[in-house]
Amino acid sequence: VRALVSRPPTGGAELIDVPPPDLGPGQVRVRVLEVGICGTDLDIVAGRYGRPPDGASYLILGHENLGVVEEGADPNGPLRPGTLVVATVRRGCGTCAFCAAGRSDFCASGNYTERGIWRANGYLAEEYVESATELVPVPAALRACAVLTEPTSVVEKAIEQGQLVWDRVAYPPGAGPRRSRALVAGAGAVGLLASLLLRLRGWDVTTIDRHGSTTLAAQLLGEAGARHVDVEAGLDALGDDRFDLVVEASGSAGLDSELLDRIATNGVLVLTGIPDASGGTPKALGAQWRRLVLANQAVVGSVNANRTHFAAAVADLGRLAGRWPGLLERLVGERRPWDDGPAVFGHRPEGTIKTALVVRGA
């Protein structure tokens, strides 16, 4: 079968023929429809990240997947030939307590694998096989936006983590103060999806990036009732505003430090972007740590997602599609045939929020 592969640590992207995967017990064969591209893929192709399966010379790219069940499904279960499915990405290490408890997204050994990223082949191939337990069914009505399921699952976990921190206040249900103000830093796919999910849940959302108000991202935010603020000239553009929940989706260590100043009393900052470990990160000042203590604030990192977050993502994509019809489709701004993959990795058009490579059309 054809597959789009890279060769970490060298990188690159090329279409090659690979042996078709064998179908094992409990597994399902899936025909790939399309795969979204994100910064992680660009890092792999650029030779900055990724690792092939042990002993292999290449890594099949792609983790933001959407496919259709072909064979091997349980005829009485939810997965039947023709069912749309999204596969999860991370596979547990098999040894740590978190993976044993089904929380590979919290793996403590670091010996996990991630399909399309780390020691496991991804989904940019004509077909793949996977355990039925790692596949999440998707309603046919979500065909046009379901390629967003994986990035949405990452957002579901991040917001859940923020909510769990808020729940530590533990006042009686319904009796507590309303937590209403959210700040989302970054208006790429993850930042936009976070903004939309928070709007869906009734939060008052402010989303910042370094672009003006004429971009597609700013337009989509406006339609969903979020406030867009251009912080090209600095976070002073936010005035004195502080926020109960801050979701960071930009991967800038310098910005992370500044966001500490934007957390409200008892609030939480959830970091999802992965900053460059090198470079001049400003150290948080004593005053920032002091306020963190005196105002009961929390900073939480959140990475990856579990199967439950994928299922929540599918449900919320359905709600978003109902609330703002057509908006998610515009977020997937560009679809390209996967033969163009090598060129797409080399040059992302300005203003495109999410590019999907189409392996097989409708």
Binding site for Zn ion (CB under 5 A): 38, 40, 64, 93, 96, 99, 107, 109
Q: Which CB, 64 or 156, lies closer to Zn ion?
A: 64
Residue 71 Cβ, how far from Zn ion at the closest point, in Å? 27
H or E, element range at 243: strand 243-248
Kindly state the smallest distance separating residue 193's Cβ from Zn ion, in Å.
11
Q: Write the CB contacts of 195 (distance below 8 Å, at least 6 apart in sequence).
A: 184, 187, 205, 207, 221, 224, 226
Q: Give least dist CB 310 to Zn ion, A.
A: 13
Question: C-alpha angle 306/122/134, rounded to 5°?
Answer: 35
Closest contact distance (angstroms) between CB of 181 and Zn ion is 28
Residues 362, 358: Cα–Cα separation, whole Å: 9
Identify the burial level of 192 via C-beta atoms within 10 angstroms of its C-beta, where 0-12 means exposed, 13-18 middle and 19 or more buried: buried
Q: What is the CA radius of gyration of the chain?
A: 21
Q: Which is nearer to Zn ion, 31 or 63 (CB)?
A: 63
Burial 228-249 (b: 16+ CB within 10 A, else e): bbebeeebeebeeebbbbbbbb
Q: Do you find a cis peptide bond into 173, omega within 30 degrees of 0?
A: no
Closest to Zn ion by CB, 7 or 90: 90
SS3 content of the chain, % helix, strand, coil (to 5): 30, 25, 40
Q: Which is nearer to Zn ion, 46 or 93 (CB)?
A: 93
The minimum distance between CB 131 and Zn ion, in angstroms, equals 17
In angstroms, rounded to a whole number, what is the distance separating the alpha carbons of residues 208 and 109?
35
Q: Residue 104 or 297: which CB sits closer to Zn ion?
A: 104
> CB of 112: closest distance to Zn ion in angstroms?
6
Q: Which is nearer to Zn ion, 108 or 343 (CB)?
A: 108
Q: Judged by CB, which is closer to Zn ion: 36, or 162?
A: 36
- Give the shortest CB-50-to-Zn ion separation in angstroms: 12
The DSSP code for 47 is T
251 near 281, Cβ under 8 Å? no
